[in-house]
Amino acid sequence: TEVTAARVRRINPSPSTAAAQRVRELKSQGLTILDLTVGEPDFDTPDHVKAAAIRAIEAGETKYTPVNGTPRLRAAIAGKLRERHGLECTDAQITVGGGAKQVIFLALMATLDEGDEVIVPAPYWVSYPDMVRANDGTPVIVDCPEADGFKLTPERLGEAITARTRWVVLNTPGNPTGSAYTAGELHELAQVLLDHPHVRVLTDEIYDEIWYHEEAAPSLAAVEPRLAGRVFLTNGVSKTYAMTGWRIGYGVGPTDLVTAINTLQSQTSSCPSSVSQAAAAAALTGPQDFVRETVSVYRGRRDAMTKLVNDVPRLGCAVPDGGFYLLVNCQDTIGQFTPSGSRIQNDEDFARYLLDSRQVAVIHGAAYGAPGYFRISFATSTDVLTEACARLATACAGLS
């Protein structure tokens, strides 16, 4: 008999965790690996945020908080949404959890019954399909080709909606693509959704501040107010403030959904960490110089990397709008032979060839529903990135 439940057998550990594990193993064998798999900022949490956490500990803020987060943090979240998007929300529409990941998981758990469908545009963040499966739902993967900027079109959205559709997931700016929907594109998708009142939209805006354009990244709930009652906006402090280990994320949306999530949270974690919440409130309300400075560093790397990658014969990538990833097209390496005579059959073979022959670790695209691509993270030093690109070029030159 099986020890585990069916829901566990339906899903896999995250491939980025698996890649990190493989990098650690190779490093422990004494190899120097250029690791481009990391999904977190290579900066330290800002000092004023750490200081706020220390103050919270000293002030005795070390007990359970309300299930949906401290009033201070919820007010900080409401403030951010008002300032950035002109969105107004009541306190009861906000919930805080242990990372955006947990909030998204609980939103699905709170709403899916067996057979309910969730539209997930591909390329996608690896966790969405498995989170849907873990909660008895059926992911409906909709391919969004590079020619469409890896974005869902109104036509494809319309075709994918059925009577069983509960959610559409929109990750913008996206991991792994770096693409973001313009306000015009969001407006067009919204027009389709207005015809289907049973469908809700989960927007994952975790990379909204790692953003390379003048005007703020648009948010669906603000673009189409008539849809606002059906949008669950998720975000967090992990990426913007280099706070991945503090585990604070949030969701804002319809009160019935937020109440259901709070009920689940009350029976799972009781509340997110009190100290981390104090830190997150300081991050959201304090000086934002850290964000400006780090985004300017990311922008420099993005520009350098897109140029270097596009200079490598057989590889190519688009310039991301946000985030710290490049999704590199390696379709022209498929069918080629490595110097040792093995044939590259797919992106996974190419990633393995890079790692084994040049010690460069990337994540193969099929893990994100993007076969023929691989993901590079540029949340690492310029030295590592430059050397890695030189090795990418050598690896590609070695193919025939």
Residues lying near ligand PLP in the complex (CB under 6 A)? 39, 99-101, 125, 171, 175, 204, 206, 236, 238, 244, 249
How far apart are CB 332 and ligand PLP at their closest, in Å?
Answer: 27
Of 19 and 344, CB closest to ligand PLP = 19
Q: Which two tokens stand for residue 58?
A: 């000293």
Of 117 and 204, CB closest to ligand PLP = 204
* Type of residue at 10: R
Neighbour order of strands in the sheet with 363-364: 316-317, 325-329, 373-377, 363-364
Query: What does the alpha-carbon distance between residue 105 and residue 128 come to, in Å, rounded to a whole number?
Result: 9
How far apart are CB 114 and ligand PLP at their closest, in Å?
Answer: 25
How far apart are CB 45 and ligand PLP at their closest, in Å?
Answer: 13
Whether the Cβ atoms of residue 268 and residue 43 lie closer than 8 Å to each other: no
Whether the Cβ atoms of residue 277 and residue 65 lie closer than 8 Å to each other: yes
How far apart are CB 220 and ligand PLP at their closest, in Å?
Answer: 15
Of 238 and 346, CB closest to ligand PLP = 238
Angle at 100 between CA 95 and CA 101, to 5 degrees: 125
Q: Which residue has the tokens 């193969």?
A: 364
How far apart are CB 333 and ligand PLP at their closest, in Å?
Answer: 26
Of 176 and 372, CB closest to ligand PLP = 176
Of 203 and 274, CB closest to ligand PLP = 203
Whether the Cβ atoms of residue 110 and residue 261 lie closer than 8 Å to each other: yes
Whether the Cβ atoms of residue 47 and residue 184 lie closer than 8 Å to each other: no
Q: Select from 301, 277, 278 the least CA-distant residue to 377.
A: 301
How far apart are CB 16 and ligand PLP at their closest, in Å?
Answer: 7
Measured between its terminal Cα atoms, the distance across the chain in Å is 50
Q: Select from 81, 91, 141 the least CA-distant residue to 117.
A: 141
Of 346 and 380, CB closest to ligand PLP = 380
How far apart are CB 39 and ligand PLP at their closest, in Å?
Answer: 4
Whether the Cβ atoms of residue 275 and residue 56 lie closer than 8 Å to each other: yes
Beta bridge partners, 316, equal: 329
Of 178 and 249, CB closest to ligand PLP = 249
Of 128 and 290, CB closest to ligand PLP = 128
Beta bridge partners, 143, equal: 122
Number of helical (H) and strand (E) elements in the chain, helices listed first: 14, 13
Of 200 and 247, CB closest to ligand PLP = 247
How far apart are CB 52 and ligand PLP at their closest, in Å?
Answer: 18
* Type of residue at 232: F
Q: In 111-199, which ranges are E strands?
A: 117-122, 138-143, 165-171
How far apart are CB 368 and ligand PLP at their closest, in Å?
Answer: 10
- What's the half-sphere exposure (Cβ side, CA atoms, 13 Å) at 25? 9
